[in-house]
Structure 1
């Protein structure tokens, strides 16, 4: 039954890839289409109010500066809101202002589409900041990622046409994609019993006769964009394991599809940009093969259960249910875990700290690779980066200048790609080592031994991949963890994006190279196998030693 549930979700996703990918192409191609009639008037009004008289193509440097400047403005506004939230309206619970280092971490977290939370939403934020900061950032950070991905696709596929206009891409992402989808999904979630209210906290009497406060709020509206934007930040501390955020298997499936469908459809969008749908399907298939590998590891490991629990004589026939909700079971919990770490959403419907060692390793591995669908545009960009690297390696093997999308790959592009590839493991491994070398970091580890290493490693992998899920078990709300994870999230987001936009701009300026019999085709099964091999090889070379010291060692000692 569980495998059938997983299979149905996979089939639904496959059916959605083509229509959703086609729609996103129409949004970002800047070619006249039917959506102009629906959204064009609203967009023109926004352009006029913002003073955008001409939407000219930008150089890649101008595009990057526009992207960064917009993010800086949003960061400043959000930081002020968090620091003053206790004195602002929309605070029926009387929550106080957020501490400085935590506010820094939270603002960077939401601006980088990470949504790592070192606070509990019910007590750490007010109704106003949940809406004006969190929900606003969920729209804008996702739109920023989509805009950069659109520019990257144009740079690789359309010679001499520039990268597009950031503000146009940014506004289109919100108006034509996220707002309408979030509105519809919010209504559906409300119909499925997810709360959407501005009523204050409710006091109830429990069965034992004690008083308990139940936090309510505008939850459904946040849940919709939280998953559509692959944000992942929870209204409550328990995130999508909370019965208000994710009350039933129906909402669970909707949330899985909401965070998965657009990242999974972007490769098809790229195929339309490249005028080669096969190219898009090869990228998608490579991602899906990697995803199914990690999903299988997670499901089998959780279904097998924990031998230490079984040794105590406890009935573990259902598998490892520790940290999981009975209403979801092993199947939907394993699928949610695999999707949220593949799509770098960070939303959780079970506690990842209680996953079996190999189940936790699979979730960790998806974030370390950071190419399996990924968040809003990041996964596609990273996979295409590995595609260029694969072409380069094959070219070296046969003694031919490598080419990708009809452009020669030369030293400049490879230097930029080397930066993008190396910065990710550096941002994970270096802070992990620093945390264990200093008492500020090590004192936060509550589980010594192999599992403690995995907790720290997971925290920085989640930050660098802009995922945001946590292994928990860490006392991470202090200055050291707030500052280090904040910086990891910042550099993990912007360094690779800027480097890859520079690669696209460099290739865009080159004259096309004619296809010959010696040209390595990148739209067939052979290249798909090469691409998967390159991703796994680079991942193993950079992360295998620390994986062995953490989850593998824990598994072998159970």
Structure 2
């Protein structure tokens, strides 16, 4: 039954890929279509309000500058709101202002689509902050990532000199994708008993006569965009393990589909842009192959349970249920864990710190690879980066100048790809080592030994991959962790995005090279194998030594 539950959800995603991918293509192709009739009127009003009269295409530098400035302005406004939230409206619970370093970490976290939370939402944020800062940035950060991904696709597939207009893409991502979908999912969640209210915290008396406070709020609205935008930050501290955020197995499946649907459909959209659907299916199938391996490991590891507990005779027939909700069980917990890391969402319906060592290795490894579907556009960009690398290696092996989608791959592009690949490993491993060398870093570790290594490694991996989930045993709400993870989140978000935009800007200006007998095909099984091999080999070379010291060593000692 557990395997059947997982298979049904995967089957639904497979059915959604083509229609959703086609819709995304119509949204961003800038070709006249029916979506213009539905959403065009609202977009024209927005364009007039922001002064966007000329929606001409941009160079990669102008595109990058546009999204950076937009993000900076939104971050500054959000910082001020959190610092002075106590004096702003919709604060029925009289929550105070947020501490400086925690505020800095929070605004960076949500603007970079990471949503790493060093605070507990129901006790640290007012309703105004939850809606105007957190929910707002969940929309805008997702729209930013989506826009950059589409610009990168245009650079690979289009002939011309520009990669589109950021502000047009940014607006369309809101009006045609995230706002309509979030509205629908919010209504569904409300119908399934997820709270949506501005009433203050409930004060009740239990049957035993004890006083109890129950936090509520505008949960459903945040919950919908949290998953659709692959954001992950929860209204409550325990995220989607909380019964108000995720009350039933049905809502659990809806949240899985919400965070997985758009990243899974993007490869098909890429195939439509490339005028070669096989290209999109090759990328999608490579991602899905890696995903199936990871979900199999997670499910099997949790089902077998903890060998140390099994050895003392405790009934472990249900597997390792520590840190999991009974209403979900192991199948939906393992699937949720794998999807939230694959889509770099970061939302959790169980506590990753209590996973078995191999179960905890799954989300960590997915974030290290950062190309198994990925968040809003990040996974596709990274997988296409590996595709370019695979083409380059294959070209060197046969002594031919590598080509990808009719453009020659030359040293400039490979240098930028190398920067993106190496920077990801650098901003994970260097801060991890620094944390172990510092008393400020080591003081946060609550479980010394191999698991403590996993806690620190997971925190920086999650920050660099813009995921936001954590091994929550780590005491991370300190100035040291707030500042260091904030820096890692910034670098993890913007280095790779800018580098890949530069690649797109370089390729879009190149002359089209006609396909010949000697052209290396990138839409067949051979290239599928090269693509997976490139991801796995580079991931193993960069991260395997660190992983061996953490979850693998812990797994071996438990046995």
Specify the TM-score bucket, using the shorter chain as the normaliser.
over 0.9
Which residue in the other structure is 1:135 paired with? 135
Q: Distance in 2 between matches of 1:207 and 1:234?
A: 29
Equivalent pair of 2:146/2:376 in contact (CA under 8 Å): yes
1: CA distance, partners of 2:89 / 2:515:
63
For 1:367, the equivalent position in structure 2 comes to 367
Larger CA deviation: 222-231 vs 306-315? 306-315
Q: 2:434 maps to what in 1? A: 434
Give how far 1:397 is off. 1.0
**2:203 match: secondary structure:** strand
Which residue of structure 2 aligns with residue 149 of structure 1? 149
Inter-partner Cα distance in structure 1 for 2:556 and 2:271: 43
* CA–CA separation in structure 1 for the residues paired with 2:195 and 2:308: 39
SS in 2 for 1:517: coil
Which position in structure 1 is the counterpart of 2:358?
Answer: 358
Aligned CA-pair RMSD: 0.6
Q: Which residue of 2 aligns with 1:5?
A: 5
Please give the TM-score of this superposition, normalised by the length of structure 2: 0.99
Q: Is the 8 A contact 2:240 2:348 kept in 1?
A: yes
- Matches of 2:307 and 2:535, distance apart in 1: 32
Q: Count residues with an aligned counterpart.
A: 558
Cα distance in 2 for partners of 1:294, 1:431 equals 26
Per-residue CA deviations over 1:374-402 (Å, capped at 9, x if unaligned) read: 00000000000000000011111111111
Q: Which residue of 2 aligns with 1:498?
A: 498
User: Any idea what the Cα deviations from partners look like across 1:35-59, whole Å, max 9, x if unmatched?
Assistant: 0001000000000011111111011
- Per-residue CA deviation, residues 130-181 of structure 1 (Å, 9 max, x unaligned), is 0000000000000000110111011110011511000000000000000000
Q: Does 1:228 align with 2:228?
A: yes
1:508 aligns with 2:540: no
Gaps of 5+ in 2: none
1:256-271 equivalent positions in 2, closer than 5 A: 256-271=256-271
Match of 2:248 in 1: 248
1:205-216 equivalent positions in 2, closer than 5 A? 205-216=205-216
Instruction: Report if the CA contact (8 A) 2:264-2:284 is conserved.
Output: yes
Trace 1:413-452 onto structure 2 (pairs within 5 A).
Answer: 413-452=413-452
CA-CA distance at 1:207 after TM superposition: 3.3
CA distance in 2 between partners of 1:206 and 1:160 (Å): 68
Q: For the residues of structure 2 that align with 1:413 and 1:384, how far apart are their CA atoms?
A: 12
Please say if 1:401 is aligned against 2:397: no
Does the 8 A contact of 2:161 with 2:509 survive in 1? no
Residue 14 (str. 1) matches residue 14 (str. 2): yes
Shift of 1:222: 0.4
SS in 2 for 1:526: helix
Equivalent in the alignment of 2:109: 109
- The Cα offsets for residues 453-505 of structure 1, whole Å up to 9 and x where unpaired, read as 00000000000000000111111101100000000000100000000010011
Instruction: Please give the alpha-carbon distance, in whole angstroms, between the structure 2 residues aligned to 1:418 and 1:550.
Output: 26
The equivalent of 1:534 in structure 2 is 534
Deviation, structure 1 residue 127: 0.3
* Structure 1 residue 512, shift from structure 2 partner: 1.0
TM-score normalised according to structure 1 size: 1.00
| Matched-pair contact (CA < 8 Å) for 2:59–2:161 | no
Shift of 1:208: 2.9
Equivalent position of 1:331 in the other structure: 331
- Per-residue CA deviations over 1:512-536 (Å, capped at 9, x if unaligned) read 1111111110001110011000100
For 1:296 and 1:9, the matched residues in 2 are separated by 14
Query: Partners of 2:175 and 2:454 in 1: how far apart?
Result: 40
2:84 is paired with a residue whose SS is: helix
Give the Å deviation of 1:281.
0.2
